[in-house]
């Protein structure tokens, strides 16, 4: 027992710090949004945030000697995902942050897989609806009703703010299967697709912002706490988080790295309670537990497991799909074999990384959506 447990503890120490750091970064994003909207219009906050994130990823592209996509068709699809998967949900979380607690925004972010699944099944037809997924979906939406506290009646700024946060999660739920259908399978790295998606979102925001919110204030007119929040949301939540996430995939495996989705709401609640002294009513964390239970059932983490099909795939096949809402991650074997951090950032599957940047609002899950090889957990 002692001989076997020692390697296990060593393996845990190798990936757990990065795993928790990533959950903390993405979970605290809602805290930074709450601070940012104190002085900034939600659209202005999104503009600055996306700009900082795009600059960070472009620097990483230069350092890693990677390059942006060159196909016009890819850029056309990234206009859609940049709008639906970045600009719109970031802004909705900003509007929601004006009305609800940051910890509640983090809880709503966890509902994204509940939208991914029906969109993937009914609209994009990239997944099949099984009994387990149906049960998980039903449990998840029951949890949504509990979080909302529908028995108390609808209406009021707080209720509207919750709907805005759920709308943001729904945007991710549309963008993820769209990316899986139209962008996945390309030869570009996740870093390149993430940077390009942010650039498209930045272009859209640059056009729309003056009409919606007017000219943004100069950074020199903002307080230090708001400036720090913008930097944290953009540079930390996308740039550093990107590298940490793919290191987690390389060290711990894709399936283990994907479970960060379940830890993010915990850090969102802790950050809101400790920093902003926020409080929740009993039904909100209770509903969050039901939501996460439904997501786990829909993804096959709880309940009877399907026997894997005995098929042999070519070595180059790393973009096969699994259930909607799971982690979109690369084959972990390639970067582990190389053992270099630079190549780890490129080890994303052709369907991964493009979702990552949309999860810095909570995101996460942005690279954690349509896992190519679910059996990769280590």
Q: If we measure between CA atoms, which residue out of 258, 260, 263 comes closest to residue 372?
A: 258
Phi and psi of 3, rounded to 5°?
A: -65, -40
CB 257 within 8 A of CB 248: yes
Is 87 contained in some domain? Answer: yes
d(CA 262, CA 269): 12
Residue 112: its pLDDT value, please? Answer: 86
Question: Is 335 in a helix, a strand, or coil?
Answer: helix
Tens of each residue's pLDDT in the chain, 378 residues: 444 444 466 677 888 888 899 999 999 999 999 999 999 999 999 999 999 999 999 999 999 999 999 999 999 999 999 999 999 999 999 999 999 999 999 999 888 888 888 888 888 887 888 898 899 899 999 999 899 887 777 678 888 999 999 999 999 889 988 988 898 778 888 889 989 999 999 999 999 999 999 999 999 999 999 999 999 999 998 778 877 887 887 788 766 777 787 888 989 999 999 999 998 888 989 999 999 998 888 878 787 665 544 443 333 332 333 333 333 333 222 222 222 333 333 333 333 343 444 444 444 444 443 443 333 333
Is 8 contained in some domain? Answer: yes
How far apart, in Å, are the Cα atoms of 225 and each of 38, 52, 99, 148?
A: 10, 16, 20, 30
φ/ψ bin of 239: left (φ > 0), alpha (ψ from -120 to 50), beta (otherwise): alpha
Is 159 contained in some domain? Answer: yes
Rg of the chain, C-alpha, whole Å: 20
DSSP 216: P
Is 236 contained in some domain? Answer: yes
Tokens of 333: 């074997």
Is 179 contained in some domain? Answer: yes
- Other beta carbons within 10 angstroms of residue 21's beta carbon come to 14
Q: If we measure between CA atoms, which residue out of 331, 280, 197, 275 comes closest to residue 28?
A: 275
Domain count, the chain: 1
d(CA 302, CA 137): 13
Residue keyed to tokens 């001989």: 3
Q: What's the 3-state SS for 243-256?
A: HHHHHHHHHHCHHH
d(CA 367, CA 32): 21
Residue 124: its pLDDT value, please? Answer: 86
Q: If we measure between CA atoms, which residue out of 326, 185, 329 comes closest to residue 254?
A: 329
Taking every pair of Cα atoms in the chain, the longest distance, rounded to a whole number of angstroms, is: 66
Report DSSP letters for 49-83, one per residue. Answer: HHHHHHHHHHHHHHHTT------HHHHHHHHHHHI
Residue 369: its pLDDT value, please? Answer: 39
Tokens of 127: 């997944």
Is 137 contained in some domain? Answer: no
Residue 277: its pLDDT value, please? Answer: 93
Q: If we measure between CA atoms, which residue out of 363, 352, 354 comes closest to residue 330?
A: 352
Is 73 contained in some domain? Answer: yes
Buried residues in 44-83 as b, exposed as e (16+ CB within 10 A): bbbbbbbbbbbbbbbebbeebebebbeeeebbebbebbbb
Residue 357: its pLDDT value, please? Answer: 41
Domain hosting 9: range is 2-128+153-212+225-278+331-371
Residue 151: its pLDDT value, please? Answer: 79
Is 76 contained in some domain? Answer: yes
Total count of residues recorded for the chain: 378
d(CA 166, CA 111): 7
Note the helical H segments in 232-282. 241-252, 254-258, 260-275
Residue keyed to tokens 């995902």: 81
Residue 114: its pLDDT value, please? Answer: 86
């Amino acid at each position: 027992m002692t001989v076997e447990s020692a390697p296990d503890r060593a393996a845990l120490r190798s990936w757990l710090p990065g795993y928790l750091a990533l959950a903390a970064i993405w979970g605290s994003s809602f805290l930074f949004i709450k601070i940012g909207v104190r002085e900034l219009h939600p659209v202005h906050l999104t503009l600055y945030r996306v700009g900082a994130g795009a600059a960070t990823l472009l620097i990483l592209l230069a350092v890693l000697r990677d390059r942006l996509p060159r196909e016009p068709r890819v850029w056309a699809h990234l206009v859609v995902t940049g709008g639906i998967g970045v600009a719109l949900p970031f802004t909705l979380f900003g509007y929601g942050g004006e009305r609800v607690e940051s910890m509640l925004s983090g809880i709503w972010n966890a509902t994204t897989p509940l939208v991914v699944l029906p969109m993937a099944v009914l609209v994009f037809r990239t997944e099949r609806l099984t009994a387990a997924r149906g049960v998980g979906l039903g449990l998840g939406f029951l949890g949504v009703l509990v979080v909302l506290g529908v028995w108390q009646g609808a209406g009021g700024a707080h209720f509207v703010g919750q709907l805005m946060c759920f709308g943001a999660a729904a945007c991710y739920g549309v963008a993820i299967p769209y990316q899986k259908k139209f962008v996945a399978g390309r030869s570009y790295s996740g870093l390149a697709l993430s940077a390009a998606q942010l650039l498209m979102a930045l272009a859209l925001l640059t056009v729309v912002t003056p009409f919606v919110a007017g000219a943004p204030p100069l950074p020199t007119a903002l307080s230090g706490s708001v400036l720090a929040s913008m930097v944290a949301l953009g540079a930390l939540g996308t740039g550093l988080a990107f590298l940490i996430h793919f290191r987690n995939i390389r060290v711990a495996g894709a399936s283990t790295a994907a479970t960060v989705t379940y830890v993010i709401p915990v850090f969102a609640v802790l950050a809101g309670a400790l920093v902003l002294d926020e409080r929740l009513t009993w039904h909100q964390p209770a509903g969050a537990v039901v939501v996460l239970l439904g997501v786990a059932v829909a993804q096959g983490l709880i309940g009877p497991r399907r026997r894997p099909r005995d098929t042999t795939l070519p070595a180059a096949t790393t973009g096969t799909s699994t259930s909607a809402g799971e982690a979109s991650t690369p084959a972990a074997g390639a970067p582990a074999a190389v053992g270099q951090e630079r190549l780890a950032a490129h080890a994303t599957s052709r369907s991964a990384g493009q979702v990552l940047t949309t999860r810095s609002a909570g995101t996460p899950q942005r690279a954690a959506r349509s896992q190519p090889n679910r059996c990769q957990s280590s």
